[in-house]
Amino acid sequence: MTALRIVESAEPIVGEVQKRYAKIATGEISGCGCGAGSCCSTAESDLAAELGYSAAELAALPEGANLGLGCGAPLAHLALAPGETVLDLGSGAGIDAFLAAREVGPTGRVIGVDMTPPMIEKARATAARHGFTNVEFRLGEIEHLPVPDASVDVVISNCVINLSPDKHQVFREALRVLKPGGRLLISDLVLTRPLPENVRSSVSAYVGCVAGALLESDYLDHMRKAGFGDVEVVHRNAYTVGDESLDPVYREGVSAVVSVKVRARKRG
């Protein structure tokens, strides 16, 4: 059982998240289901199919891009057009960035932003190895995006914003970088009920995408208060992890979580 540690500020949480995903990027531990890690026995390809990725998409992915870290397939509810610019928040090894690159084509552009250097290095190496010229990966925090104002057409994210200690700031930044009329599509985990204190204070549950999750209504309110319009949940799915060896505290938290895909638009 993982020992509980009280979350006292954002700084240690960010550090724990960064260390966890650095280990996944370097292969020290495996990734599955947004941080369940080596406790998860589901193959990455099988998990991705369950989350909504098509067989054609999985076949087109470059080797190493799918680490099994998502909770949905954000592109499934977008109709990307050739020539568009897409920004992926918390791009990891690049699964959604590389799929978006296929859709926007050589005249389009995809930018992935991630705060974990080994993830950026892994994604850049994959892009170079497979000849992706319309994708770039930038090191940075999703609360402070290294992207100019009103410069992208679409923002996507896959099971990352729940890990941020300042979700409202993430949505403000997403709005800032979108062009007027730009679209947002997020796959993420939200709560169906409040978490008990032992789960909320568990770092293990936080890096596993549970303790940092918000109630669905609060999550959507943050988006609207940041300035997004047409906010709607387009898909909702149960989120379960089946390995009995998981930390009971983490398992208790997972029982209160669902996966949602949320679509919104920048007015203008």
State how far the Cα of 190 lies from the Cα of 92, in Å rounded to an integer: 20
Q: Which has the closest alpha carbon to 88: 175, 192, 158? A: 158
pLDDT digits (tens, 9 = 90+) for 43-100: 555 666 677 788 889 899 999 999 988 898 999 999 999 999 999 999 999 999 999 9
Tell me 162's DSSP state. G
Q: What is the CATH number of domain 10-266?
A: 3.40.50.150
**Average per-residue pLDDT in the chain?**
88
Query: Contact, 41 vs 122, CB < 8 A?
Result: no
Q: What sign does the dihedral 266-95-102-142 (CA atoms) show? A: positive
State how far the Cα of 167 lies from the Cα of 212, in Å rounded to an integer: 10
Least confident of 7-11, 82-86, 101-105, 177-181: 7-11
The pLDDT of residue 46: 62
Instruction: Indicate the domain borders of the chain.
Output: 10-266
Whether the model clears a pTM of 0.85, i.e. scores above it, the answer is yes
pLDDT digits (tens, 9 = 90+) for 225-265: 999 999 999 999 887 665 544 677 777 888 899 999 999 99
State how far the Cα of 257 lies from the Cα of 250, in Å rounded to an integer: 11
Cα-atom radius of gyration of the chain, to the nearest Å? Answer: 17
**Residue 127 class from Cβ within 10 Å (0-12 exposed, 13-18 middle, 19+ buried)?**
buried
Q: Which two tokens stand for residue 118?
A: 């080994």
Q: What sign does the dihedral 164-168-169-170 (CA atoms) show? A: positive
pLDDT digits (tens, 9 = 90+) for 25-41: 999 987 654 544 333 44
**Nearest-10 crossing angle of helices 95-104, 117-129:** 40
